[in-house]
């Protein structure tokens, strides 16, 4: 039972997954820092500037549309980087890998069928 777990851990997929989680966390921190340092102040300036830039107040209800726009931009940046850095190269790699493969033959080839006939004929021969 422990050997199966060890094989699972050392198979390589779990290590790739761990690396992806670490890199994903670092990338998320990078995008979050970019949006909070550059995009939020820019949206605040466009929305009227000052402390309440990017915020609309109606009857003491605060609508922080600047934070929403920042979250949307963060999502679009993250999704586009993941698509162009991970999905597109993996798709091309799979296409190259599939191009090098020959399709599996359907059924039994003629050579195999002939060899089976010879085997059966030899088995049916009377022995001296």
Each residue's pLDDT, cut to its tens digit, for the chain (128 residues) gives 677 776 666 666 666 677 777 777 888 888 888 887 887 788 777 776 655 567 777 888 877 777 788 888 888 888 888 788 877 887 887 787 777 765 555 666 788 888 888 888 888 887 76
Domain of 46?
2-124
Q: Which CATH number covers residue 9?
A: 1.10.1200.120
Instruction: Report how far apart, in Å, the C-alpha atoms of 93 and of each of 23, 52, 88, 98 are.
Output: 21, 48, 9, 9
pLDDT at 46: 76
Token pair belonging to 125: 């021969």
> What's the confidence (pLDDT) of residue 67?
78
Instruction: Quote the number of domains for the chain.
Output: 1
């Amino acid at each position: 039972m422990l050997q199966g777990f060890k094989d699972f851990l050392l198979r390589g997929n779990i290590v790739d997954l761990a690396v992806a989680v670490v890199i994903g966390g670092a990338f998320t921190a990078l995008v979050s820092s970019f949006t909070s340092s550059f995009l939020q102040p820019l949206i605040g300036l466009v929305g009227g500037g000052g402390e309440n830039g990017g915020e609309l107040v109606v009857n003491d209800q605060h609508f922080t549309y600047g934070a929403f726009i920042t979250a949307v931009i963060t999502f679009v940046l993250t999704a586009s980087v993941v698509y162009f850095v991970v999905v597109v190269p993996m798709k091309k790699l799979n296409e190259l890998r599939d191009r090098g493969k020959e399709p599996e033959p359907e059924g039994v080839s003629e050579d195999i069928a002939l060899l089976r006939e010879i085997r059966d004929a030899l088995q049916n021969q009377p022995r001296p």
